[in-house]
């Protein structure tokens, strides 16, 4: 596996792959890789001739500088994992390589068609502007045939799909296929996340209650309304000492608008476990 740190070198490798008519898969990440990321890379390797993985903690999607500073980083451990998984290229640029000073200090403008007005977008203003900024740049640079994203960040996945097929970018990236991959969980049920590294062992045991309650809510949904299940999930999680719900929304899987029933619904939650902000979701 080759490690690339500049856009110029990246473009050279991409062009060589294109000239050989090789299919290219891309897995964009922010590093601190875990088994969830590994599942994306394995699928990418199995479905494409060449796999590119980016590791870049994108500063423009953080509206909390402290959160950016504390985000876990271990590029050499990430590189070892990716090499063992069969990835061909690791793109690990600096912020200065990815952005000009003006881009770093201004908001990337994008029309989200309302997808950014709920849940994460509501709680983290500007977050998805930064996500679209970096992902679109990676798509321009790598020109992948397929790009792989985890369903744990469900709203992000919905926005990236919209960016590729329904926004002003539509058609820009050719026939790019966005591949959503299922959440990977620990045996306890806790959704894997790079932020889990910041949890103590006791906090991890506490955080397991998030997924436990979400799975239980599928049973509640058989006899109760959307509003009743939504409130019951919030109350149940908040009743666990050490957990505090920021939001729990039951929305349509496609539009992210509030769901009228459970026929095509997904429940998305953000919970603070101590100081660590965790997200999860459950499809009904």
| Rounded Cα–Cα distance for residues 57 and 99 (Å) | 13
Tokens matching residue 60:
């423009």
Q: Tell me the C-alpha to C-alpha distance, in Å, between residue 119 and each of 34, 83, 170, 224, 249.
A: 25, 35, 24, 23, 7
Check: CB of residue 44 under 8 Å from CB of residue 29: no
37 included as an active-site residue? yes
Task: Based on DSSP, count helices (H) and strands (E) in the chain, helices before strands.
Answer: 11, 9
- What count of other Cβ atoms lies within 10 Å of the Cβ of residue 150? 22
Contacts of 128 (CB under 8 A, 6+ apart): 61, 110, 112, 115, 116, 120, 121, 155, 156, 159
Distance (Å, whole) CA 233 – CA 256: 18
d(CA 94, CA 29): 14
Closest by CA to 190, choosing from 278, 108, 89, is 278
CA atoms within 13 A on the CB side of 266: 19
CA separation for the pair 278, 284 (Å, rounded)? 20
Question: In sequence order, which residues have a C-beta less than 8 Å from that of residue 198 and are 6 or more positions away?
Answer: 70, 72, 275, 276
Annotated catalytic residue within 13, 37, 88, 127: 37
CB 232 within 8 A of CB 217: yes
User: Which residues are tagged catalytic?
Assistant: 37
């Amino acid at each position: 596996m080759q490690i690339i740190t500049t856009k110029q070198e990246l473009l050279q490798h991409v062009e060589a792959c294109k000239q050989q008519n090789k299919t290219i898969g891309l897995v964009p990440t922010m590093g601190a890789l875990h088994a969830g990321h590994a599942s994306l890379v394995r699928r990418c390797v199995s479905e494409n001739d060449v796999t590119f993985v980016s590791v870049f903690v994108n500063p423009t999607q953080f509206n909390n500088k402290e959160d950016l500073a504390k985000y876990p980083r271990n590029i050499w451990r990430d590189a070892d994992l990716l090499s063992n998984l069969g990835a061909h290229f690791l793109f690990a640029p600096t912020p200065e390589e990815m952005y000009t000073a003006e881009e770093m200090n201004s908001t990337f403008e994008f029309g989200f068609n309302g997808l950014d007005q709920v849940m994460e977008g509501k709680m983290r203003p500007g977050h998805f502007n930064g996500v679209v900024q970096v992902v679109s740049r990676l798509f321009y640079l790598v020109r992948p045939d397929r790009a792989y994203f985890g369903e744990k960040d469900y709203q992000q996945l919905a926005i990236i799909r919209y960016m590729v097929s329904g926004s002003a970018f539509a058609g820009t990236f050719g026939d790019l296929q966005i591949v959503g991959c299922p959440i990977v969980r620990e045996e306890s049920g806790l959704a894997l996340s790079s932020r889990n590294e910041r949890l103590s062992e006791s906090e991890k045991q506490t955080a397991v209650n998030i997924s436990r309650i979400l799975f239980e809510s599928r049973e509640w949904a058989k006899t109760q309304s959307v509003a009743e299940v939504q409130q019951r999930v919030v109350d149940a999680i908040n009743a666990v000492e050490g957990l505090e719900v920021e939001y729990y929304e039951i929305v349509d899987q496609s539009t992210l608008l509030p769901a009228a029933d459970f026929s095509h619904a997904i429940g998305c939650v953000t919970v603070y476990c101590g100081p660590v902000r965790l997200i999860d979701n459950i499809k009904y």
